[in-house]
Structure 1
Amino acid sequence: MSEAQTTAEAHAKKFSGSNSRKFNYFEPKGRRATLYEDVTVDVQPDPERYLLQDWIISWADGKPAYAEEWTKIESSDWHAFRDPNGEWERNHYIRQSSIEKQVALTIESAQQEGVFQNIDKTWRKVIQDHFSASKHAEYGLGMVFLQAQRDGMSQMINNATLVNSSDKLRYAQDITLYLMDLAKDLKELNEDAGKENWLNNPVWQETRRVTESFAAINKDWAEQVFAVNLIFEPLVGELFRSGFIMQFAASHGDYVTPAIVSTAEADYERNLAYSVEMFNTFLSDPIYGDNNKNVTQEWMKKYVPMCVEAANQLQPIWSQPRVKVSTFSDAYNRAKERFNSILGQINIKIPEGVKL
């Protein structure tokens, strides 16, 4: 091989920006690439970006590792989405660790001060029957996002969805551990009551039906994210967490439960932010935006009535605490306003004929 050929081959193998301290193989969201972008963009390449030989791996039946057909949403650039939270493994682990320390210290302090013994008895029953039941919904949604995160068409999409899954599973676990601590101090508390209510109490059956239907969605990760974060959460999840637990607990001598629930509310604010950004990207796509709007309209026709029914079935819970801080009607009106504001953020409206 001649010297000229050897030199040419060496140049061909050399990455074009290898001598630069700047990343120039992708377009950053802002003026400069963030650390989040550096460690997520193109970690999952695809045949549209760099893979000349098609997907590196495929399923046993020959289907590719990732396929656009796994969602009805279409995109001219799956890599355009950036998580506004900029969350990746390191800062996610740090955040989760901080939350766990906060929860543990709150419970430990309450035990030392004998707080659990002073909680109103009607509220203890609510925690036992209904707060405990809610963990099954949270766990189920965590598993929905765990499924969805595998199928997204870019690492940025999958990262955000996986963080969402981790948040839900952590919160469900926090509820479980909290109830175990409560049971040590309150011997009459039945740790199995939550499961019984989740499976058989009529007030929870519509919520159960909705959450189980999300898991049954056939290979459409975008539908799962849209249905859970943009419909179910404001109309049902937040309704119970913020509209009930956060409103009623303090007046019944309980500051621990709201401290735990507040972590889930903060989680949702972050997960709502990425969901809004993701669907704004899809709905404003220069080629497929109109199609994607039609798809989301069909999803709303399917899931809004189910979530409205689930929310209304929870109404009897508001009458069970001794101190009536607010009504279900007030809480649900706030939930509807929240839902409408979320739709406004992605510039879509409730389909005609669909009522809240």
Structure 2
Amino acid sequence: MTTQADKPVKAERSFPKPQFTDAEAGALDFPSSTSRAFSYYTPQKLRATMYEDVTFDVQPDPERHLLQGWIYGFADGSSGYPQDWTALKSSDWHRFLDPNEEWEQTIYRNNANVVRQVQQNLANARKAEAYRQWTRSWASFVERHVGAWMHAEQGLGMHVFVAIQRSAPTNMINNALAVNGAHKLRFAQDLALYNLDVEEQLDGFDGSAHKAVWQSDPAWQGVRENVERLTAVADWAEALCAANLVFEPLVGELFRSHLVLQIAARNGDYTTPTVMGAGENDYDRDLRYTRALFTLLLGDDAHGAGNRAVVQEWLGRWVPVALDAARRLQPLWSQPAEKPVRFEDSLDRAKERFARLAEDLGLQSPAGRTSERTAK
């Protein structure tokens, strides 16, 4: 029988004791040690905003705090977020701050509000049987042409903005581009769901007619060509310029605002404007950041003149394409029974809007000169 005394005594184990040298993290006091605000950037105003706190330097940059250089690269030898992915140049890309202050929380909150509003309007329309008040010509217009617009939004969202949303040199610009893509995809989805809702409620409404219209209707082939050309642009800033500064005012607003929103009520439709208006509100927000970015780039002390020459060349390239797309849409103005606006008047307003936009940026508008003749 083994007793307690017979058991071998284990040697006491020893462990190295920590030696504090005051070199470890948190050991030293710095001027901002007790501050509850970030000090690695200068806020635009007196106090930093939540947007600045969660956006500045989230994407590391060797020009700021990434001392060892980019930590990843590509097979062609480029690394990180190359600045030569656009022909435009900037003395400091980090100077751009999104005036919409979009980040994760605001993206979900703003889009949820839009979706909630659209759903409530559609529920009210179903309850009031509002679709049954439409004339057959207007129902045909909605199923064919309002439905066709979802393809333009889907193409821009998925194959333009989603494609370029990580191409800019800073997280602030990429956030804005990503939100722009989210707006486009959500609006395309709004139109698709609206199309299905009307098909369920209105007898004789063909919910699939928009596909053939987008693919083969001559009136839409200019818009389709414009969108498809945009998907092939490699320069992210050119794609942004051609989409938000050219296509949207000359084609997007022409169709959404100067046609659908103008004539829907005259044809007994008070529901479509609420859906289409959500897309107009999206563009207002997206244009706000686009103007801020190009104002910064075109006014750059070192590169402003060169950037203006490049953007002016882009306008000369894309305005004729957009005007051609706009003019091919002309037959749509004669299809509804009630036609309170003329196509030429609508196009003139769209061109005036584009001209003011170009002028505000210090650019010349080619919309009323050689480009117009080329588009014809």
Q: Same fold (TM over 0.5)?
A: yes
1:67 Cα deviation from its structure 2 partner: 0.6
Match of 2:5 in 1: none
Q: Indicate yes or no: 2:209 matched with 1:193.
A: yes
1:12 Cα deviation from its structure 2 partner: 9.2
1:272 corresponds, among 276, 280, 287, to 287
1:328 Cα deviation from its structure 2 partner: 0.6
Using the TM superposition, name which of 15-24 and 208-217 deviates more: 15-24
Matches of residues 189-228 of structure 1 in structure 2 within 5 Å?
189-218=205-234, 220-228=235-243
Q: Indicate yes or no: 2:187 matched with 1:171.
A: yes
Matches of residues 134-153 of structure 1 in structure 2 within 5 Å?
134-143=149-158, 144-153=160-169
Q: Which amino acid aligns with 1:331?
A: S
Q: Indicate yes or no: 2:311 matched with 1:296.
A: yes
1:204 Cα deviation from its structure 2 partner: 0.6
Match of 1:37 in 2: 52
Q: Indicate yes or no: 2:135 matched with 1:120.
A: yes
Q: Which amino acid aligns with 1:157?
A: I
Deviation string 1:284-313 (CA, Å, 9 cap, x unpaired) is 111111110011011001000000110000
Matches of residues 1-356 of structure 1 in structure 2 within 5 Å?
6-8=21-23, 10=25, 17-143=32-158, 144-218=160-234, 220-351=235-366, 354-356=370-372
Q: Give ranges in structure 1 of 5+ residues lacking alignment.
A: none
Using the TM superposition, name which of 125-134 and 62-71 deviates more: 62-71
Match of 2:13 in 1: none
Q: Which amino acid aligns with 2:91?
A: S
1:25 Cα deviation from its structure 2 partner: 1.0
CA distance in 2, matches of 1:76, 1:45: 17
CA distance in 2, matches of 1:199, 1:187: 25
Q: Which amino acid aligns with 2:183?
A: D
Q: Give ranges in structure 2 of 5+ residues lacking alignment.
A: 1-17
Which has the higher Rg, Structure 1 or Structure 2? 2
Query: Is this contact kept in 1: 2:96–2:173, CA < 8 A?
Result: yes
Work out the percentage of aligned pairs sharing the same amino acid: 44
Query: Is this contact kept in 2: 1:123–1:321, CA < 8 A?
Result: yes
Query: Is this contact kept in 2: 1:304–1:354, CA < 8 A?
Result: no
CA distance in 2, matches of 1:209, 1:12: 62
Q: Which amino acid aligns with 1:231?
A: V
Q: Which amino acid aligns with 1:273?
A: R
CA distance in 2, matches of 1:4, 1:93: 49
Query: Is this contact kept in 1: 2:354–2:365, CA < 8 A?
Result: no
Q: What is the SS of the residue equivalent to 2:95? A: coil
Q: What is the SS of the residue equivalent to 2:300? A: coil
1:5 Cα deviation from its structure 2 partner: 9.2
Give the count of matched residue pairs. 353
Using the TM superposition, name which of 72-81 and 25-34 deviates more: 25-34
1:278 Cα deviation from its structure 2 partner: 0.3
TM-score by length of 1: 0.95
1:15 Cα deviation from its structure 2 partner: 7.4
Deviation string 1:159-207 (CA, Å, 9 cap, x unpaired) is 1111100001000000000110111112311122111111101111111
TM-score by length of 2: 0.90
Deviation string 1:96-130 (CA, Å, 9 cap, x unpaired) is 11111111111111111111111121111111111
Deviation string 1:136-163 (CA, Å, 9 cap, x unpaired) is 0011111211111110110110111111
Q: What is the SS of the residue equivalent to 1:355? A: helix
CA distance in 1, matches of 2:86, 2:93: 12
CA distance in 1, matches of 2:156, 2:179: 12
1:354 Cα deviation from its structure 2 partner: 3.8
